[in-house]
């Protein structure tokens, strides 16, 4: 599966002029509201016809303004998970789930039943099958919506801020399902939440005012200081660590590019690989190796770039043994520490977010 | 129905036949017109809307006379259809046509409201799941507008049962041919000693109208429950 998009569309004073490619995995369209994310994903779905450009899905042009090609949505073999679920109110959960199957290419009865059972179990919606959508909670609705999209056996799943309407608890209920889907079917996922992006993305396409300002593998894009204005508070690094052992005092020891990292006990067994997000504002810098500090996790680093922000802050990008990382400090500190490209320092990690599931690395997925 | 005389019974049966045909034949057209008015934008939409609603505002006699001009034996449409064996003038079919046209705006209004209430985003969702336009309509739109369609049909049926002015102008008042319930009541009231017959027909009218209304209420409630899943 591959997706190539290059379209322009003008709507009032807003111009969308975007081109990107989505390799396998989860490609997140990331940007503020109004940056054109939804227009872009609707163009891929065929719900909106752009004025010009080309959209190629798996080698087939589903839209090509030069040749006058425009495939209607029902012939694009997609599964779309909308922000508000959009379940059919007059059908039961079971009928909602099997809706797309009427139109998907036929398969053996047994295989269809097995697939249905597998997806129902994966999403934990077995007890809901005979209910009506009106009797479901927000999180349940969204799980059914994911199942409905999957069971249409799409070549690509589109998701437009599928978690935005949910509270934090429901969000963490749904996120793992998308993580599980990552290996199953390619996903184009719209979000303006840096936390979601960091957890899910294989590839990130950053949109700003209708233009793609950056695209690439998730770890690279998130550690790019140029992207930080998009969500400076949440900017940070995405690193992959391996669980080494669990200690008796409730800590787990992880290996982060050769540096030991101690975190409160993680659920994964030794040997499994984890995705870590280290927010820029959770990193403190020190020139000398700090002594007598309560922080457990200190990484040797080299300054790659110092980028002053609009306010009193600055974003420092660092090269560590584990990869590129960002630190958000004040400009005053940056001057006091004489930080400049090439300067050696130490990064002290105040906190680290762990994706609760073993999700592999983008590199592994790409092969 | 022993208490109805043969002539009265004839009028009731004819009216039921006329109203049922008028409703059934105009229903698909009503759904189509409501769909176009609710969902499409095109030049001349206001004009179409006006034409559909005209029978509601015009004096019924005017509508009947226009029908006579158009669909009568010498009218352009009437002359065109006559070789095909379709005759409206002074036949029950003409009464059904008149009743259908008079009831059409009421039907379209009711159905249009239910079209307006359907969330187009549900139809988009169905399309992304592989449903073509026709399938989207059959599996999503139609079930969701069903309560409105029922309401429109009952309203049209009641209106068709009661239609008088356009019918009598277009197809006259021939017993057994075009003498519908209202025409019969009118006729009985014109002859001495006809009050008893008229009164019986009035009672029948009330029973039929109430019956249709109650049946549609019950049906609509059931459909609504199925649709909203409450």
Domain A236-366 annotated CATH 2.40.50.100:
yes
Q: How much is the ipTM here? A: 0.80
Q: Is residue B68 part of a domain?
A: yes
Task: Considering only residues B131 and B89, tell me which one the structure prediction assigns the higher pLDDT.
Answer: B131
A46-82 in b/e burial notation, b at 16+ Cβ within 10 A?
Answer: bbbebeebbbbbeeeebbebeeeeebebbebbbbbbb
Of the partner residues A92, A132, A148, the one whose CB lies closest to the CB of residue B129? A148
Instruction: For B136, name the nearest residue in chain A, comparing CA atoms only.
Output: A74
Between CA B220 and CA B223 the distance in angstroms is 5
Distance CA B118, CA B224 (A): 13
Given 3-state DSSP classes, what are the helix, strand and coil percentages for chain A, each rounded to the nearest 5? 30, 35, 35
Query: Between chains, do B230 and A134 touch, taking CB under 8 Å as contact?
Result: yes
Domain count, chain B: 1
- Stated as kind and residue range, the H or E segment containing B108 is helix B92-117
Q: State the CATH number of the domain containing residue B11.
A: 1.10.3720.10
Contact A125, A142 (CB under 8 A): no
Question: Length of chain B, please?
Answer: 230
Beta carbons within 10 angstroms of residue B81's beta carbon:
14
pLDDT digit string, tens, across residues A268-325: 888 888 778 787 888 888 888 888 888 888 888 899 888 776 677 787 888 888 777 8
Q: Is residue B88 part of a domain?
A: yes
User: Does B139 fall in a domain?
Assistant: yes
Residue B1 maps to a domain: no
Distance CA(B161)–CA(B99), nearest Å, equals: 8
8 Å CB contact between A188 and A179: no
Chain B residues closer than 8 Å to A45 by CB: 128
Q: From the options 3.40.50.1100, 3.40.50.300, 3.30.479.30, 3.60.21.10, give the CATH code of A3-222.
A: 3.40.50.300
Q: pLDDT (tens digit, 9 = 90+) per residue, A42-51? A: 999 999 999 9
Domain ranges of chain A: 3-222, 236-366
Same fold, A3-222 and A236-366: no
Domain range for B150: 6-228
Interchain CB contacts (distance < 8 Å): A and B: 84
Close Cβ partners of B161 (under 8 Å, ≥ 6 residues apart)? B15, B16, B19, B99, B180, B181, B205, B208, B209
Q: Under 8 Å CB-to-CB from A57, ≥6 apart: which residues? A: A2, A3, A44, A76, A155, A156
| H or E segment to which residue A213 belongs | strand A211-217
In a domain, B207, yes or no: yes
Number of Cβ atoms within 10 Å of the Cβ of A169: 8
Residue of chain B with shortest Cα separation from A134: B229
* pLDDT tens sequence for chain A (367 residues): 688 899 999 988 888 999 998 888 899 998 888 888 889 999 999 999 999 999 998 888 999 989 988 999 998 888 999 988 899 999 999 999 999 888 877 777 778 888 899 889 888 899 999 999 988 988 899 999 999 998 988 889 999 988 887 887 778 778 888 888 877 788 999 988 777 787 788 888 988 888 888 888 877 787 776 665 555 445 667 777 888 888 888 888 888 888 888 888 887 888 888 778 787 888 888 888 888 888 888 888 899 888 776 677 787 888 888 777 888 888 888 888 888 888 899 988 877 777 654 443 333 332 2
B229/A135 Cβ within 8 A = yes
Please name which of A47, A295, A98, A343 lies closest in space to residue B127, comparing C-alpha atoms. Answer: A47
């Amino acid at each position: 599966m591959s997706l190539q998009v290059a379209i322009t569309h003008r709507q009032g004073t807003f111009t969308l002029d975007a081109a990107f490619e989505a390799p396998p995995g989860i490609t997140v369209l990331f940007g503020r509201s109004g940056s054109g994310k939804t227009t872009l994903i609707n163009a891929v779905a065929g719900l909106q016809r752009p004025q010009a450009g080309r959209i190629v899905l798996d080698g087939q042009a589903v839209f090509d303004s030069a040749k006058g090609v425009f495939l209607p949505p029902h012939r694009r073999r997609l599964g779309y998970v909308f922000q508000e679920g959009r379940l059919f109110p007059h059908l039961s959960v079971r009928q909602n789930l099997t809706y797309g199957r009427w139109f998907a290419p036929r398969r053996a009865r047994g295989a269809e039943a097995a697939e249905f059972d597998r997806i129902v179990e994966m999403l934990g919606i077995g007890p809901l099958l005979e209910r009506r959508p009106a009797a479901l909670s927000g999180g349940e609705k969204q799980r059914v919506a994911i199942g409905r999209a999957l069971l249409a056996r799409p070549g690509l799943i589109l998701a437009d801020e599928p978690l935005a309407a949910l509270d934090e608890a429901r969000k963490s209920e749904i996120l793992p399902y998308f993580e599980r889907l990552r290996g199953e079917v390619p996903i184009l996922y719209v979000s303006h939440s840096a936390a979601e992006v960091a957890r899910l993305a294989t590839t990130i396409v950053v949109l700003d005012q209708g233009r793609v300002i950056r695209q690439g593998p998730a770890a690279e894009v998130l550690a790019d200081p140029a992207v930080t204005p998009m969500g400076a508070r949440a900017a940070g690094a995405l690193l992959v660590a391996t669980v080494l052992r669990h200690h008796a005092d409730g800590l787990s020891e992880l290996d982060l590019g050769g540096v030991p990292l101690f975190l409160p006990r993680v659920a994964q067994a030794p040997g499994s690989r984890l995705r870590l997000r280290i927010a820029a504002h959770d990193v403190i810098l020190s020139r000398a190796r700090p002594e007598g500090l309560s922080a457990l996790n200190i990484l040797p680093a080299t300054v790659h770039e110092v980028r002053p922000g609009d306010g009193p802050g600055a974003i420092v990008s660092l090269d560590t043994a584990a990869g590129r990382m960002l630190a958000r400090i004040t400009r005053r500190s940056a001057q006091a520490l004489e930080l400049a490209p090439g300067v050696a320092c130490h990064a002290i990690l105040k906190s680290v977010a762990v994706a609760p599931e073993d999700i592999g690395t983008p590199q592994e997925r790409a092969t | 129905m022993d208490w109805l005389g043969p002539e009265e019974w004839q009028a009731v049966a004819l009216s039921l036949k006329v109203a049922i045909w008028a409703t059934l034949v105009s229903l698909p057209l009503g759904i189509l017109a409501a769909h176009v008015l609710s969902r499409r934008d095109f030049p001349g939409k206001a004009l179409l809307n006006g034409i559909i609603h005209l029978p509601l505002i015009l004096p019924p006699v005017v509508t009947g006379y226009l029908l006579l001009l158009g669909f009568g034996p010498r009218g352009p449409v009437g002359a065109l259809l006559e070789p095909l064996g379709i005759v409206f003038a002074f036949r029950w079919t003409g009464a059904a046509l008149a009743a259908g046209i008079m009831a059409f705006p009421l039907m379209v209004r009711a159905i249009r409201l239910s079209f307006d209430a359907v969330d187009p985003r549900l139809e988009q969702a169905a399309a992304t799941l592989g449903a073509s336009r026709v399938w989207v309509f059959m599996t999503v739109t139609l079930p969701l507008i069903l309560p409105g369609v029922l309401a429109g049909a009952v309203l049209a049926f009641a209106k068709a049962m009661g239609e008088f002015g356009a019918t009598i102008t277009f197809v006259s008042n021939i017993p057994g041919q075009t003498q519908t319930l209202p025409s019969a009541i009118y006729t009985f009231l014109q002859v001495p000693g006809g009050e008893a017959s008229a009164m019986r027909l009035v009672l029948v009218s009330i029973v039929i109208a109430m019956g249709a209304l109650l049946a549609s209420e019950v049906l609509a409630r059931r459909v609504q429950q199925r649709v909203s899943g409450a």
